[in-house]
Structure 1
Amino acid sequence: MNKILKSLLLIAATFSVIEPSAAFAEDKLETTPTKYIEANGVKFSYRTLGPKSGTPLVFLQHFTGTMDSWDPAVVNDFAKTRPVVVFNNRGIGATNGVVADNIEQMTTDAYAFIGALGYKQVDLLGFSMGGFIAQELAVQHPELIHKVILAGTTYQGGGNNLMKVLGEAFSRTNAPDPRDYLFFSQTDAGKKAGGEFLSRAYARTKDRDPESGKAIADAHGKALIVFTSTPDPEFKTLKAINQPVLVVTGSNDTMLNTEGSITMYKQLKNAQLVLYPDSNHGSIFQYHDSFVNSANYFLNH
């Protein structure tokens, strides 16, 4: 009953509006300068937005994604009321080094990056493969991780349809960007949301991250497949997470099945669930206003 009540409160929060501070209303992912910091032998590229005080929300990105793969509608809205950090992990975008091909190394590097910024405690938003890293960070560094948002992701051993959906996405002719298929349902509403998302995602024209190539895709593909196909029948990782967790997914996630998110919600000790209708892997981008409002309510209470 307690879980159901919390989920209902989150739905109610969808209809509330958080007034932004005027000083940070103009912080935008599209124009914020890229910064660099060294840690663990890596020169990380990153961007910070929003106020200087408060618990930072660190974004952990998806398969082959860079800072410029995030939806500005999500990043910018969070930055109106809290510090936000986006970054490229080892070998991604403008960050140097050889890209990691396993979640363990990605987690180690993310922890080093957060530590280099001097933060004593952070919240995490892990999207897709970034959700794997968020789970590992929550278990390994409970003193650092305050709350966790797991969006469009799954648990260790939860399975994936990566190769199938990638093949379908890239087999289409005259498709400018596979994310309109990978992230969004192919209904009229889903296609419309996909087009709007891509328009926002390409809004940054200066100092954009370089696109990820085959070497990155191969390494990330290996990491994703190994994590999702390595059994954890007793859900040891999920049960070791003591922090509050918000699980967010679409009604039909074709890459990391919706059922995996529901399983996470059931196995986690302190979890809430948001499930969006007529949506695929990128539900947080399709329903960006609702997602940010619900996530802010979760983070603030």
Structure 2
Amino acid sequence: MRYAKHLKQALLQAAILGATLAVPLTVMAGDAAPAAEAPIAARTWANVPTQMISAAGTQFAYRELGKQNGGTPVVLLNHLAAVLDNWDPRVVDGIAAKHHVIVFDNRGVGASGGTTPRTMEEMADDAIAFIQAMGFEQVDLLGFSMGGMVSQEIVLKNPGLVRKLILAGTGPAGGVGIGTVAGVANVDILRGLVTFQDPKQFLFFTRSPDGIAAGEAFLARLKERAQDRDKDIAVSAYLAQLAALKAWGDKAPADLSVVKQPVLVANGDQDRMVPTVNSRDLAQRLPNSTLVIYPDAGHGGIFQYATQFVPEALDFLAR
């Protein structure tokens, strides 16, 4: 009986790991040859090289676009179980057309070294260390889902480091349903396995015809990078992030009225992972916020509406 229980747990964890990061079957993460380096001005999310930098004793993997644009760098912070290749190329390239954009793997995730933190506060400390190691005195933050929670901790810990924030598909500490994200995620991961679909089709998008089509288009875009793909997230890292989400959901709400920076809050109107009510709550708690809610859209609303979100983000950052 004990053996059967352990076997069941191992199979579930393997299923979670295998389904969380869907990659083209012909291009396994970390196995492809490094992408040829294109001239800086010609680089896109599909061919920009992955680099490494040491910060606070950890080697962080990152990619950098639009450095020639100058100005305040925009640092992107990723969602649960995500590595570099989970960012929508249309969002990254769209913002990098006007801004210096940096995306990095959290500690213990993807190609970054170290052990994955079990709290948002620790992840924020790592992000601050990374930003400072890059030599940036001030940045803009675009945090999606879990990355939006980390972004809130960053601005509370070090407000002078942050000029503006974009918080997408996320919520405040103690927000509605945040502590139960693990249940929603794991059910849809298994749902994806049963139906032979990527679980992000269920987790990020609605089941309407438009939502399904948007999910298929998004998943196709994630496969555009054919070489030098990131490493898969480990099961242990995924479980640590789930623990961090549970702790964030159980945490007492922070006083966000102290955040004076301009904030753009965005989400779909039918977010199942971090219920949309949390985005409205965030916008009310933040004194200098703008709220955008996309119709017939789920957790991945900024990806479904990338052609609308990118101009809105650019306009917000340019104000």
What TM-score results when the alignment is normalised by the length of structure 1? 0.89
CA distance in 2, matches of 1:295, 1:144: 19
How big is the shift at 1:142?
1.5
Residues 1:36 and 2:55 are matched in the alignment: no
Residues 1:224 and 2:241 are matched in the alignment: no
Structure 2 match to 1:55: 72
Identity of aligned residues (%): 41
Paired letter, 1:141: N
Aligned residue pairs, count? 276
CA distance in 1, matches of 2:41, 2:55: 31
Structure 2 match to 1:139: 156
For structure 1, the 5+ residue unaligned runs are 1-22
What do the CA deviations read for 1:35-84 (whole angstroms, capped 9, x no partner)? Answer: 11101010111010013311111000001111111000100111111100
Aligned residues of 1:170 and 1:178 also touching (Cα < 8 A): yes
How big is the shift at 1:204?
1.2
CA distance in 2, matches of 1:279, 1:182: 11
Residues 1:189 and 2:210 are matched in the alignment: yes
How big is the shift at 1:25?
6.8
Question: 50-59 vs 272-281, which deviates more?
Answer: 50-59
Higher helix share: 2
Structure 2 match to 1:163: 182
How big is the shift at 1:168?
3.0
How big is the shift at 1:246?
0.4
Structure 1 match to 2:267: 249
What do the CA deviations read for 1:148-186 (whole angstroms, capped 9, x no partner)? Answer: 000000000003241332233123213331111100011
Question: 97-106 vs 170-179, which deviates more?
Answer: 170-179
Aligned residues of 1:154 and 1:228 also touching (Cα < 8 A): no
CA distance in 1, matches of 2:56, 2:258: 26
Paired letter, 2:233: S
CA distance in 2, matches of 1:268, 1:77: 26
Identify which of 151, 157, 160 aligns with 2:168. Answer: 151
CA distance in 2, matches of 1:228, 1:27: 39
Residues 1:298 and 2:319 are matched in the alignment: no
What TM-score results when the alignment is normalised by the length of structure 2? 0.84
Aligned residues of 1:27 and 1:80 also touching (Cα < 8 A): no
CA distance in 2, matches of 1:164, 1:104: 22
Question: 51-60 vs 165-174, which deviates more?
Answer: 165-174
CA distance in 1, matches of 2:143, 2:303: 14
CA distance in 1, matches of 2:53, 2:126: 12
**RMSD between superposed Cα atoms in Å:** 1.4
Aligned residues of 2:139 and 2:161 also touching (Cα < 8 A): yes
Aligned residues of 1:27 and 1:79 also touching (Cα < 8 A): no
Aligned residues of 1:25 and 1:80 also touching (Cα < 8 A): no
What do the CA deviations read for 1:168-211 (whole angstroms, capped 9, x no partner)? Answer: 31232133311111000111000000001011112112111111
Residues 1:118 and 2:135 are matched in the alignment: yes
How big is the shift at 1:24?
7.1
For structure 2, the 5+ residue unaligned runs are 1-38
**Residues 24, 34 of structure 1: alpha-carbon distance in 2 compared, 3 angstrom cutoff:** closer
1:13-32 mapped onto 2 (5 Å cutoff): 26-32=42-48
SS at match of 2:195: coil
SS at match of 1:289: helix
CA distance in 1, matches of 2:221, 2:50: 18
Structure 2 match to 1:4: none
What do the CA deviations read for 1:88-111 (whole angstroms, capped 9, x no partner)? Answer: 010111111111111111011100
Structure 2 match to 1:267: 285
Aligned residues of 2:109 and 2:234 also touching (Cα < 8 A): no
**Residues 25, 190 of structure 1: alpha-carbon distance in 2 compared, 3 angstrom cutoff:** farther
Paired letter, 2:73: P
Residues 1:214 and 2:235 are matched in the alignment: yes
CA distance in 2, matches of 1:174, 1:209: 26
SS at match of 1:73: helix
In the TM superposition, structure 1's runs of 4+ consecutive aligned residues that sit over 4 Å from their partners are: none
